[in-house]
Chains A and B, each alone.
Chain A
């Protein structure tokens, strides 16, 4: 491993394949299938791992550049299209401004089309803390609502539009090519034709999990939707505005319908917000206390309150059960 034979040239196609793996391994969750594919590729040719290490070293080296050296590379590329202002693209700020502007524009258009469609019949369904509900819509599509969740619908002749106002819902869509089934969940809109999928909303993320068929996920302000297949989950991070798609265990993702809330490497804040909908008493988090903490594991929705009270054994948190039964989480270090 220490003996590097770097003078032996590696063909560009092999380096390109290696780079593709680098991108894949960074962006995906490590599922068993992907790991098998990765090992197969590693074993397929004696130069493959060398190629991988070479592109990884170059990428790491370039990423660790700072100041003028870094700028000298960024200057080689004109800014990405959504921000037409001239000059150098600096990190993500300019991207965000562009996305926000486009988002505002989108909201305007959506609002207008809704006003123009006076003949639609809106209706709203919601659930309370700790309860679930199944609703059959007029087109025989079904919605399974998680706890403390709300969905409103506006059906018209040309489209079936729904809004997930908050919480989580699973959608089983009746096919109807003439009337697309579109769910808006905050800054993300999801389009499906004859398919089954789940959307979960928290303040940090919107997650779209597809169990059958495909859906298109379009974060507001982006031109091209991202196609998500059965067995995949798209996660839109509301802070970074990043959309990531990864393979997922469907059974685990839909466990909430059977009282099992399963999480893989999810920010603790978003997990607590989710569990909170099932807890009998509110879980209150002190600002910043769970920042940077990540949770993997299963929470039984019936025992959500116990789970919250045990968080201090896993994380640097102090748990206080208050007089009204609510649970307060504060940072142990006191910042």
Chain B
């Protein structure tokens, strides 16, 4: 039970603890939505600030879910701003929200792309097909499921296993060459 009198310092320490315990999970979550690590960090920071400015001290007990809700809303705002900025593209109305805007380019070296390509070729046909539709054609799992006549769950499984294999091979190749990068 939080009382109003001790509200503010309590909250500051509670927010601090949230930051220590969950910041990485928050940033990773935001990055999945925004497809940009920089923006994910900005939004997370803003969410902490908003949390500190909360007027209702009783909200402290819900602080963690508040943090994620605030951050998720801020991320939606960001995506909206982004799509407004890019409004000049006439034929893409709502795309910015869903996908395809990749403000930061993560560059994978050419030899590493070969490693991933090799890994993809060794996957079972359906698994490879699902993964390629998901990553390169911007299809949702539901769309892929409908197109392939399989369940959504199966498609998720294919994507999960396929991408995991590709990442494993990439890590193994990097370990061999002694490299160390994300």
Contact = CB atoms under 8 A, between A and B. Distances in A.
B136 A70 contact: yes
Interface string A289-308: 00111101000000000000
Given A38-B25, A81-B149, A91-B138, A74 B132 contact: yes
A51 to B, nearest CB: 8
Contacts of B69: 30, 32, 35
Interface in A249-265: 265
Nearest to B31: A56
B140 A267 contact: no
A77 B129 contact: yes
A288 B144 CA distance: 30
A64 B105 contact: yes
B151 interface: yes
Contacts of B95: 240
A176 interface: no
Contacts of A12: 161, 164-165, 168
Given A53-B182, A219-B146, A294-B80, A226 B152 contact: yes
Nearest to B79: A294
A75 to B, nearest CB: 9
B76 A265 contact: yes
A167 B98 CA distance: 25
Interface stretch (A21-29, A110-118, A192-200): A21-29
A224 B125 CA distance: 20
B8 interface: no
A123 to B, nearest CB: 33
Nearest to A58: B167
A245 B65 contact: no
B147 A80 contact: yes
Interface of B: 22, 24-25, 28-29, 31-33, 35, 64-65, 68-69, 72-73, 76, 79-80, 83-84, 86-87, 93-98, 100, 102, 104-108, 113, 116-117, 120-121, 125, 128-129, 132-152, 156-157, 159-161, 163-168, 170-172, 174-175, 178-182
Q: Would you list the 7 A-B pairs with minimal beta carbon distance, nearest first?
A: A15-B164, A222-B146, A30-B72, A292-B83, A16-B164, A61-B106, A77-B132
